[in-house]
Amino acid sequence: MDTDLARAWVLAIGVAVGRNKDRLTRLDSAIGDADHGTNLDRGFTAAATAVSDPGLDTVGAVLTKTGTTLVSTIGGASGPLYGSAFRALGRVLDTPLADPLAFTGALSVALASIQKLGTAATGDKTMIDAYAPAVAAFEEQARRRTEFAAAAAAAADAAEEGMRATSPLRARKGRASYLGARSIGHQDPGATSTALMFRALADAAANPGT
Judged by the rule CB under 5 A, the positions of this chain that interact with Mg ion are 28, 32-33, 35-36, 76
Taking the alpha carbons at both ends of the chain, their separation in whole angstroms is 15
The residue range among 47-55, 58-66, 76-84, 99-107 that interacts with ligand ADP, by the rule CB under 6 A, is 76-84
**Residue 111 near residue 135 (C-beta atoms within 8 A):** yes
Which DSSP letter does residue 6 get?
Answer: H
Tell me which residue has its CB nearest to Mg ion.
32
CB 48 within 8 A of CB 204: no
User: Quick check: 160 binds ligand ADP (CB under 6 A)?
Assistant: no
Which entry of ligand ADP, Mg ion, none binds 118, CB below 5 to 8 A by partner kind? ligand ADP
Determine the Cα–Cα distance for residues 90 and 51; give it in Å rounded to an integer. 13
Of 14 and 60, CB closest to ligand ADP = 14
Q: Is 2 helix (H, G, I), strand (E, B) or coil?
A: strand
Between 58 and 187, name the residue whose CB sits nearer to ligand ADP: 187
- For Mg ion, the closer CB: 35 or 160: 35
Residue 191 binds what, of Mg ion, ligand ADP, none (CB under 5 to 8 Å, by partner type)?
ligand ADP
Report how far residue 145's alpha carbon sits from residue 155's, in angstroms, rounded to the nearest whole number. Answer: 14
43 near ligand ADP, judged by CB under 6 A: no
Stretch that binds ligand ADP, among 34-42, 92-100, 138-146, 152-160 (CB under 6 A): 34-42
Taking the least distance from each CB to ligand ADP, the nearer of 31 and 62 is 31
Instruction: Using only the alpha carbons of the chain, give its radius of gyration.
Output: 16
CA-CA distance, 195 to 197, in Å (whole number)? 5
Per DSSP, the three-state class of 70 is helix
- Chain residue at closest Cβ approach to ligand ADP: 190
Per CB under 6 A, which of residues 124..143 are in contact with ligand ADP? Answer: 126-128
